[in-house]
Amino acid sequence: MEDVPEGSFFKNIRVYWLAFIAYWGIILFGYDTGAVVSSNYFLASFGLINSDGTTNTSKSNAVSSNVVSVLQAGAFFGALGSSPISAKIGRRLTLGIFTVVFCVGAILTTVAEPVTGLGKIYAGRVISGVGIGAISAVAPAYVSECSPKEVRGRITGCFQIMVAVGVMLSYFINYGIGIHIATGPNIWRIPFGFQLVPAGVLLFGLLTLKESPRFLASVGRNEEALVNLAYLRRSSPESPEIRHELAEIEAAIFEEMEARKALGLKEVFLGKGNFIRFFIAFFIFFLQQWAGQNSVNYYAPQIFAAIGFTARRNSLLASGIYGVVKVIATALFIFFFVESLGRKLSLFISAVGMGTLFFIIGAILKTHPPPAVPSGQPPPTNPPPASKAMAAMLYIYVCFYSMGWGPLPWVYVSDIFSTGTRHHGLALASASQWLWNFVVSKITPSLVTRLGYKIFLVFASINIGAMAVFAMLIPETKGRSLEEMDVIFGSISSEQRQVDIDKREQEFNGHQATSIHSSDRKV
């Protein structure tokens, strides 16, 4: 195999392709945040309209939050359950299995009928959640393990681009349905059924990918690991750079196995340098979910209605524009800034920017609340100037979110774990994300109803008081290899790591020399 020179545009094309395929499952992650439960026909179909024609707010909030939150409940268990499966059979096959699980749930929600079908929707969402939870844990681990350190942040960060694309698709599909379909079960069957498109792309795309070299090395399949690593780097298996990278991987795995030899699974979580990594993985997603972004995500039409976009068409269109801004901002950051600004500074700027804008939105909503719409009259089609200002603040807010606390928790958590603990770490991180996602999505409708403008002040305080401080306390990981994380977090000294790498390289060279000598004798 001819080596592709360093710096070539196509040097990492196979890694980008791997990420592109693996992250089709992450489109599902974003897409399933679409709030399909706000249409009048959906509410009427499942008994959420009072006899006088008004919406039963308490029941509507309950069903709305249930349809969203049961997905998170299933995803929590899917994320945790993926860890032992991924460790046993590998990242690629695990993604395939849980994509099939997701499809079963998607089909169930799609065929749900009016009046009696709410149970099928709940059950389908739980099953889909199990699939999405596992995919959200395994996909970033798979991508991170296959990516070179020079572009790992950019490639891993594509996770959030795909989330944003999924969210945007859900908004515009809801918008299209909202203006073209007034009644009938297609109001939920079309958006639920569309989930099968990205799921199908992922399922068939996996057939074109190879297993993670780091997983193969961790289970003793070193020759396969060498071949797959060379394939992904578009280099020869005999390349010194490839052999050095594999030597570093094997050295880290050997050190980890030696450290765990007497302690077993306990060492995974409590071993030297490990506990702080698991704590960061759990806490970073706790903070991300309380940043306020997902409340806007899940209930964007309701949020925009609350700040004055009362006409359903206006609120859905404003939500769609919000989704477009999010995709563009995330893509710009991932492709141009994630490897230059670094993780810490990006997270800090993101938190301060989001918090400041939430304070502004809360203040405007307090001083210029949207005018009440008289009973029986249609809502105005042109929102007041204060509402437009708040919408503009939300659009700027999502730009700050997209440059830090949107993509970087996934990048950072994918960075910090060793090969032997990465599937456990990503499973815990994903489970934390889904756990707090469940809590936030469950209570958001009630918070919007009860707190009004104060909900933005609560999120603003969390952004600046907790998230900005947290960003300054964690170590920087930009430009460091995955194996160097053991040194950063104190699991091993840099001197001992170099000794272990040199030993592995000597073993490689000795094996290669023996193979050449044997070939010469045969000739």
DSSP 55-112: B-HHHHHHHHHHHHHHHHHHHHHHHHHHHHHHHHH-HHHHHHHHHHHHHHHHHHHHTP
Our CA dihedral for 499, 500, 504, 505, rounded to 10 degrees, sits at -30
Report pLDDT digits (tens) over 80-106.
Answer: 899 889 989 999 999 999 999 999 999
Q: Domain 269-372+379-480: which topology?
A: Growth Hormone; Chain: A; (1.20.1250)
**Average confidence (pLDDT) over 6-16:** 76
Q: Domain 11-209: which topology?
A: Growth Hormone; Chain: A; (1.20.1250)
387 pLDDT above the threshold of 70: yes
* Structural tokens at position 330: 């995330």
**Average confidence (pLDDT) over 295-304:** 61
**Average confidence (pLDDT) over 226-238:** 89
Query: Do the beta carbons of residue 370 and residue 384 sit within 8 Å?
Result: yes
Residue 354: band (very low, low, confident or very high) from pLDDT cuts 50, 70, 90: very high
Q: Give residue 516's pLDDT.
A: 44
2 pLDDT above the threshold of 60: no
Q: Give residue 39's pLDDT.
A: 60
299 pLDDT above the threshold of 80: no
What is the separation of C-alpha 332 from the centre of its chain, rounded to a whole number of angstroms?
17
**Average confidence (pLDDT) over 425-439:** 85
Three-state helix/strand/coil letters over 184-233? CCHHHHHHHHHCHHHHHHHHHHHHHCCCCHHHHHHCCCHHHHHHHHHHHH
Q: How far is the CA of 236 from the CAs of 5, 146, 351, 360, in angstroms?
A: 11, 16, 44, 56
Give percent of the chain above pLDDT 90: 20
Farthest CA pair distance, the chain = 95
Give the chain's length.
523
Residue ranges in 271-311 assigned as alpha helix (H): 275-289, 293-298, 300-306
357 pLDDT above the threshold of 70: yes
Report pLDDT digits (tens) over 454-492.
Answer: 888 888 999 999 999 999 999 988 878 777 888 888 777
Q: Give residue 108's pLDDT.
A: 92
Q: Which of 59-73, 281-295, 490-504 has the lowest mean pLDDT?
A: 59-73
Q: In terms of pLDDT, which residue wins out, 150 or 49? A: 150
Handedness of CA 153, 155, 159, 165 (dihedral sign): positive
Q: Give residue 519's pLDDT.
A: 47
Q: Where are the domains of the chain?
A: 11-209, 269-372+379-480
Report pLDDT digits (tens) over 300-345.
Answer: 556 666 665 655 566 666 667 777 888 888 888 888 887 778 888 9
Decide: residue 266, CB within 10 A, 0-12 exposed, 13-18 middle, 19+ buried: exposed
1 pLDDT above the threshold of 60: no
415 pLDDT above the threshold of 50: yes
Query: What SS3 class is residue 488?
Result: helix
Query: Do the beta carbons of residue 195 and residue 32 sit within 8 Å?
Result: yes
Report pLDDT digits (tens) over 165-203.
Answer: 888 888 788 778 877 877 777 877 888 888 899 999 999
Give percent of the chain above pLDDT 70: 79
205 pLDDT above the threshold of 90: yes
Our CA dihedral for 320, 323, 328, 334, rounded to 10 degrees, sits at -170
Query: Do the beta carbons of residue 301 and residue 319 sit within 8 Å?
Result: yes
211 pLDDT above the threshold of 80: yes
107 pLDDT above the threshold of 90: yes
Number of C-beta neighbours around residue 104 at 10 A: 13
Residue 35: band (very low, low, confident or very high) from pLDDT cuts 50, 70, 90: very low
Is there a common fold for 11-209 and 269-372+379-480?
Answer: yes
Q: Give residue 377's pLDDT.
A: 61
